[in-house]
């Protein structure tokens, strides 16, 4: 076992699955010789050839549409979209075709397509490069939505996504692409889709997060531990299907909850999580559920993003509020 970054873990997952299954094809803008914007596909075209690691035109709708046709024909395409803000031209294909193909064909065809999307803020890029619109994707029937928060989960979840018979949008928090290292096995392994991970056990408050926000929650947990406050920390990992039983079990234990995400607050995924808690664990609550989120604005230009993104201090304050209620 070696310590690897999230980027290295993703590259290894792609390499292993391409070596094991010749149906796995990579498509994207500058993913071949350049290795992609963040170098996730670095070295794969040299190893597997341009017929399996294809550089495509800058046309996201055409790119995803082509992948849908490939999947119906029996291949397992993995698409890279450069940034989440560039995914929107492909929403027609994703919503109207990718998510509906199994139903439309009454089960005769499936679309085992993986769409990899670097997403979220924290690297100070220009506009359209820091979007976090996962709620829109979770709202789309027929699509699985996955977000790894660690290198170990990144490798295992991506392998599971590639092997899934149904489409997966695989959101990669680029803020932690190289910020986190973790020992992971060399051999292939899977992490099940649809299962949350209990990162840390505590008795006082349940804190629910995913992606890069998990690491802000862990920093907040260190601050709060010095005050004698312990957190049950849940990393959702898969946003759709969501592991609601894991959320309910934790909230029934602690009686209090905080949900953390960097997307805008209104109609963000946190609102759905609060609704699930109210429907299934209301009588266990000892305080209203708090949300720590981004703001209902366009993601600000680089000099303001540190004020927009949730941080450990904002999370710690929310935990103190639910405890003081």
| pLDDT per position as a tens digit, 308-321 | 999 999 999 999 99
Q: What local confidence, expressed as pLDDT, does residue 148 receive?
A: 98
Q: What is the pLDDT of residue 17?
A: 98
Summarize the confidence of residues 256-264 as an average pLDDT. 97
pLDDT confidence of 295, banded at 50, 70, 90?
Answer: very high
What is the pLDDT, as a whole number, of residue 299? 85
Residue 132, pLDDT above cutoff 80: yes
> What does the pLDDT average to over 300-306?
82
- Between CA 67 and CA 126 the distance in angstroms is 28
For CA atoms 72, 74, 75, 77, give the dihedral sign. Answer: positive
The single residue of 129, 139, 215, 261 carrying the catalytic annotation is 129
What are the CA-CA distances from residue 20 to residues 61, 151, 163, 182, 188 (Å)? Answer: 29, 21, 11, 24, 10
* pLDDT > 90? residue 126: no
- Asked if residues 121 and 262 have their Cβ atoms less than 8 Å apart, the reply is yes
- Residue 46 confidence class, pLDDT cut points 50, 70, 90: very high
pLDDT, residue 306, reads 87
- DSSP string of 150-208? SHHHHHHHHHHHHH-SS-EEEEEEGGGTTT--EEE-SS-----TT--EEEE--SSEEEE
Mean pLDDT over residues 87-102, rounded?
A: 95
What's the confidence (pLDDT) of residue 124?
84
Is the pLDDT at 127 greater than 90? The verdict is no
Percent of the chain with pLDDT over 90: 93
Asked if residue 188 has pLDDT above 80, the reply is yes
What distance in Å separates the CA atoms of residue 242 and residue 40, rounded to the nearest whole number?
Answer: 27
β-strands 182-184, 205-209: how paired?
unpaired
Q: Are 238 and 146 in contact (CB under 8 A)?
A: yes
129 is a catalytic site residue: yes
* Mean pLDDT computed over every residue of the chain: 96
C-alpha Rg value of the chain to the nearest Å: 19
The answer on pLDDT for 16 being more than 80 is yes
For 288, half-sphere exposure in the C-beta direction (CA atoms, 13 angstrom radius) is: 5
Answer whether residue 301 shows pLDDT above 80.
no
- Residues in contact with 279: Cβ distance below 8 Å, sequence separation at least 6, in sequence order: none
In the prediction, which pLDDT does 235 show? 98
The pLDDT tens digits for 240-257 are: 999 999 999 999 999 999
Q: 42: how many CB neighbours lie within 10 A of its CB?
A: 17
Q: For residue 28, what are the CA distances in angstroms to 18, 64, 66, 83?
A: 16, 9, 11, 11
The pLDDT-based confidence of 88 (bands split at 50, 70, 90) is very high
The number of residues in the chain equals 325
Would strands 197-200 and 231-235 be described as parallel, antiparallel, or unpaired? antiparallel
Query: How high is the pLDDT of residue 67?
Result: 97
pLDDT at 2: 86
Domains of the chain: 2-184 (3.40.50.970), 197-324 (3.40.50.920)
Q: Tell me whether the omega of the peptide bond preceding residue 12 falls within 30 degrees of 0, making it cis.
A: no
Q: Are 303 and 127 in contact, with CB atoms under 8 Å apart?
A: no
State the Cα–Cα distance between residues 72 and 110, nearest whole angstrom: 6
**Judging by DSSP bridges, how do beta strands 53-55 and 76-80 pair with one another?**
unpaired
In whole angstroms, how far apart are CA 268 and each of 86, 175, 183, 314?
A: 20, 20, 33, 18
pLDDT at 302 over 90: no
Cα separation of 75 and 208, whole Å? 36
Task: Determine the average pLDDT of the residues in 21-37.
Answer: 96
Cβ neighbours around 185 below 10 Å, total: 12
Indicate if the pLDDT at residue 160 is higher than 80: yes
pLDDT for position 265: 97
Instruction: Identify the H or E element spanning 16.
Output: helix 6-20
pLDDT of residue 119: 94
Range name among 86-100, 124-138, 147-161, 284-298 with the lowest pLDDT average: 124-138
Q: What is the pLDDT of residue 128?
A: 78
Q: What is the pLDDT of residue 322?
A: 98
Contact 205, 109 (CB under 8 A): no
Bridge-based pairing state of the strands 182-184 and 2-4: antiparallel
How confident is the model over 42-58, as a mean pLDDT? 96
pLDDT in tens, 192-204: 999 999 999 999 9
Q: What is the mean pLDDT of residues 100-120?
A: 94
């Amino acid at each position: 076992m070696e310590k690897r970054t999230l980027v290295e873990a993703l590259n290894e997952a792609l390499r292993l699955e391409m070596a094991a299954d010749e149906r796995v094809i990579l498509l994207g803008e500058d993913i071949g010789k350049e290795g992609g914007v963040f170098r996730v596909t670095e070295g794969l075209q040299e190893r597997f050839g341009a017929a399996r690691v294809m550089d495509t035109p800058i046309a996201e709708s055409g790119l995803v549409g082509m992948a849908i046709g490939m999947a119906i024909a029996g291949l397992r395409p993995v698409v890279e979209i450069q940034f989440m803000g560039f995914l929107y031209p492909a929403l027609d294909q994703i919503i109207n075709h990718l998510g509906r193909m199994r139903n439309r064909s009454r089960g005769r065809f499936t679309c085992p397509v993986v769409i990899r999307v670097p997403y979220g803020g924290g690297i100070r890029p220009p506009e359209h490069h820091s979007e976090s619109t996962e709620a829109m994707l979770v709202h789309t029937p027929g699509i699985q939505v996955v977000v790894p928060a660690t290198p170990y989960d990144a490798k295992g979840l991506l392998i599971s996504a590639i092997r899934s018979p149904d489409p997966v949008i695989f959101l990669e928090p680029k803020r932690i692409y190289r910020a986190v290292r973790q020992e992971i096995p060399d051999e292939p392994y899977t992490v099940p889709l649809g299962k949350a991970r209990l990162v840390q056990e505590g008795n006082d408050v349940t804190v629910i997060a995913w992606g890069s926000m998990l690491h802000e929650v862990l920093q907040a947990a260190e601050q709060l531990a010095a005050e004698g406050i312990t957190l049950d920390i849940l990393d959702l990992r898969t946003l759709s299907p969501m592991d609601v039983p894991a959320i309910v079990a934790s909230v029934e234990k602690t009686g209090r909850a905080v949900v953390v995400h960097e997307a805008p607050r209104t109609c963000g995924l946190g609102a759905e999580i609060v609704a699930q808690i109210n429907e299934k664990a209301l009588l266990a609550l000892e305080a209203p559920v708090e949300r720590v989120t981004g703001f209902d604005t366009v993601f600000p230009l680089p000099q303001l993003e540190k004020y927009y993104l949730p941080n450990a201090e904002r999370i710690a304050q929310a935990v103190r509020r639910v405890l003081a209620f």
